[in-house]
Amino acid sequence: MPRREIRITGYGGQGVIKTGYIFGKAAAIYDELNSTMTQSFGPEARGSACASALVISDEDIAYPYLRATDVLIALSKEGYEKYESEVKDDGIVIYDVDLVEPQEPRGKMKLYGVPATRIAEELGNRIVQNIVAVGFATAATGIVSKEAARQAVETSVPSRLLDMNMKAFEKGYDHFKP
């Protein structure tokens, strides 16, 4: 797989960093690819801007920062507005339909909306919104395999919340319709 660059953005408390961690773990440990992750967040723990950036490749990664984003996963309007311009003209933007209002796509850009918050609330806890997004993005991008992503979720969430997180992953994955 050639170098793929992913940015996940939202607010602190939405699981943005955990989402990046899960994708990186799926790639590096379960799909045996190379992966790096950087993160940025405001000084507040919850409610401040937050982003996670990943580079995934089958080759060594000499430069761990994003140059041209292949995939943007936007869980907040502000994050979308800040990072959408960095997405390649043939990139993919995945967004929560209840929190982000995207503009017309540029070039061959693909926009995929998912009601991640709504699905999470239907499952009983909006905190799994990010895992819904992980499932959806796994299906929409194919950057990591479904099995690798499932294993990364299973080994990255608290055991008491495992069942709900696995349901969230499956609901997100199944929601994608090409």
Question: How much is the pLDDT for 43?
Answer: 58
Question: How much is the pLDDT for 18?
Answer: 95
Residue-range domain boundaries for the chain: 4-175
Task: Please determine, for residue 94, whether its predicted confidence score (pLDDT) is greater than 70.
Answer: yes
DSSP secondary structure string, 59-103?
A: S--S--S-SSEEEEEESSHHHHHHHGGGEEEEEEEEEETTT--PP
Contact 105, 146 (CB under 8 A): no
Query: pTM (2 decimals)?
Result: 0.94
Q: Give the contacts of 130 (CB within 8 A, at least 6 positions apart).
A: 10, 14, 15, 16, 18, 19, 75, 116
Q: Tens digit of pLDDT for each residue in 109-158?
A: 999 999 999 999 999 999 999 999 999 999 999 999 999 999 999 999 99
Does an H or E element contain 12, and which?
none
Task: Please determine, for residue 161, whether its predicted confidence score (pLDDT) is greater than 60.
Answer: yes
* Segment among 26-35, 46-55, 138-147 with least mean pLDDT: 46-55
Give the whole-number percent of the chain exceeding pLDDT 90: 88
* Confidence at 47, pLDDT banded by 50, 70, 90: low
Q: Tens digit of pLDDT for each residue in 95-111?
A: 999 999 999 998 999 99
The CATH number of domain 4-175, selected from 3.90.1150.10, 3.40.50.300, 3.40.50.720, 3.40.920.10: 3.40.920.10
Average of per-residue pLDDT values in the chain: 94
Task: Please determine, for residue 44, whether its predicted confidence score (pLDDT) is greater than 60.
Answer: no
